[in-house]
Amino acid sequence: MSTPIPFLPAREIARMVRRGERSARQVTEAVLEHIARVDGVPGQLGGDPQAEPDKVHAFITLTAERALAQADAVDAKIAAGEDPGPLAGVPFTVKDIFTVEGTPSTAASRMLA
């Protein structure tokens, strides 16, 4: 595979996971590693561009443990011969203007943090 996992189309990732070419956990770990390399320290509203000028600072909240647990659940379904769904195993992000159970919704505003 020449294209790194974080840059593959969702349908290609889903196909790889369903066929067992990569586990959902492997895909999720690859995406989390990419985020760690390019984004900076999550949890700091807006990050600190002065301290990390080469980072993107796109993430306010990163739910890595939840993502890995969900990936493991997808892998378990596949191992059991169950259909996990068409996009199972494809990591995605949610802008924090949307409410997600267990995570803050700040709309990138210190006033709402």
Other beta carbons within 10 angstroms of residue 98's beta carbon come to 9
Note the pLDDT tens digit of each residue in 60-110.
888 999 999 999 999 999 999 999 999 999 999 998 888 888 887 887 777
Q: So what's the pLDDT on residue 2?
A: 85
Note the pLDDT tens digit of each residue in 3-34.
999 999 999 999 999 999 999 999 999 999 99
Longest dimension (CA), the chain: 50
Closest CA to 93 of 31, 5, 14: 31
